[in-house]
Structure 1
Amino acid sequence: MGIIMAAHAIVSRKVLDYPIRILSDSRSVLQALQSYTLTSGLIYECHKALSEVCTTNIVTLQWIKGHSNSRGNDAADILARGGSELKVAGPEPILPLPYAWLRNMLRHNTKVKHQQYWTNLGTCRQAKEALPTINPGLSRRLRLLKRPQLRLLTGAITGHASLNKHLLTMRVTDSPLCRACMEAEETAAHVILECPGVAEYRAQYLGSPGPLPEVVGNIKGLLGFLEELGWQE
């Protein structure tokens, strides 16, 4: 629509015998205009408007990178965002919302609702300490692991592993104390971050670990640490 409006403006101003350069940050539109087959009514209208301008002028279409401090392109982005937020009013046909915009809005809204649900959830206390925010990148990396490795990390994140604190809750053992140091309850956070009895292995695989969410992000190091301890899911 931007290119169409530019072509109409050129015709209305009766510009003749002039080299004209139209900038666009949409590769898909420029590629569609180059195609020998037109499958979109809007692209056909754009092609026709440009053909009219080309009868009396030399027209060049040029791709420009978006958000690159181009005055015209940045102004167009501001107007586009403002237009997308307006309620639809007036006669049809109405310019449809771009698929990419709809997809990004769905992803954003889904992520926001997911985070709200996770934050307000009254259970999963230990898991929320390790993963206070939704992390799609970490989720993708975890899905690439083999099943035994994924079970191992899940036990570390949730605390549902062969830890005395968890085993006491399940009435499998009679003491929650850490077997390596006997100084604190044996929880995932204690073993991974604090226990002096496994400090050598912690330094070898995790270095100087930061908070639990940071350690969980170090999948390779955490797996090596847990496997060295013979940790079972």
Structure 2
Amino acid sequence: MATAAIDSRKVQDFPIRILSDSKSVLQALQSDTMTSGLIYECHRALTLVSETNTITLQWIKGHSGSRGNDAADRLARGGSDMKVFGPEPILPLPFGWLRGKLRHNTKVMHQQYWTNLDTCRQTREALPTINPGLSRKLRGLRRDQLRLLVGALTGHALLNKHLHNLGVTDSPLCRACMEAEETATHILLECSGVANYRALHLGSPGSLQEVAGNASGLAPPALPRGVPLCIHAE
């Protein structure tokens, strides 16, 4: 507002001192990096009037008897008591707030899409909610480990049930116990033939969701290449 008054009065070749009781604003104007649009606009306005005048910014203590500063305080109080006209918010929203709001809304939409999906039944059973922590773990796995884990979560792996559906094998029965169909759920939670191997790497999981939370156990580094899921070679 001070620079607008200087410009409107066509003031030139004068030494002008602008007083402010806000140290944070003065320090922000002096900084080489600006993250606030309001500070940037203020800096630009000061730069324009300083081309034809000598501008000095000075800090003063608030409520110290300065006529101009006291008048500015009264105007600020009056402005805060006014009713808002027009669309809100009347002040610019911080970038950090906008980024957080965007991330939150994206996460909610992602979760709604995943929950209402008609396909990926087994994967949604293992991962009912979006899990950023698991995503970070997956990015840290080797390609062979990642392939193994994805096969376990989706059921699309070298399992007899999946291979039988594709017409590759004659029987969908489990090769380790021959008691049930060889699915990811059966191997990871039920199969007696791989109970020792499952206990070694996964403990005693009670659900696919619990298994999915143990990415390192589901894709152990010592797993022999070519062995589907946790079916031991023996």
Matches within 5 A, 1:45-194: 51-54=59-62, 56=64, 89-90=85-86, 94-194=90-190
Question: Residue 26 of structure 2 contacts residue 57 of structure 2 at CA under 8 Å; is this kept in 1?
Answer: no
Question: Residue 201 of structure 1 contacts residue 225 of structure 1 at CA under 8 Å; is this kept in 2?
Answer: no
Q: Deviation of residue 182 (structure 1)?
A: 0.9
Amino acid aligned to 1:143: R
Q: Deviation of residue 227 (structure 1)?
A: 2.2
CA deviation map 1:171-229 (0-9, x unaligned): 11121111111111111011011100011111111112232112111111111299259
Q: Deviation of residue 139 (structure 1)?
A: 1.0
Identical aligned pairs, as a percentage?
Answer: 63
The SS at the match of 1:227 is: coil
Question: Residue 202 of structure 1 contacts residue 225 of structure 1 at CA under 8 Å; is this kept in 2?
Answer: no
Amino acid aligned to 1:37: S
Q: Deviation of residue 30 (structure 1)?
A: 5.4
Amino acid aligned to 1:53: K
TM-score (norm 1): 0.63
Runs (5+) with no aligned partner, structure 1: 1-21, 23-28, 58-87
Question: Residue 165 of structure 1 contacts residue 185 of structure 1 at CA under 8 Å; is this kept in 2?
Answer: yes
Mapped partners of 1:161, 1:194: distance in 2: 17
Name segments (4+ residues, structure 1) moved above 6 Å. none
Q: Which has the larger radius of gyration?
A: 2
Q: Deviation of residue 35 (structure 1)?
A: 6.9
The SS at the match of 1:197 is: coil
Q: Which residue number in structure 2 is paired with residue 208 of structure 1?
A: 204
Q: Deviation of residue 33 (structure 1)?
A: 3.4
Alpha-carbon RMSD across the aligned residues, in angstroms, is: 3.6
Q: Which residue number in structure 2 is paired with residue 33 of structure 1?
A: 27
Runs (5+) with no aligned partner, structure 2: 1-21, 43-55, 66-83, 230-234
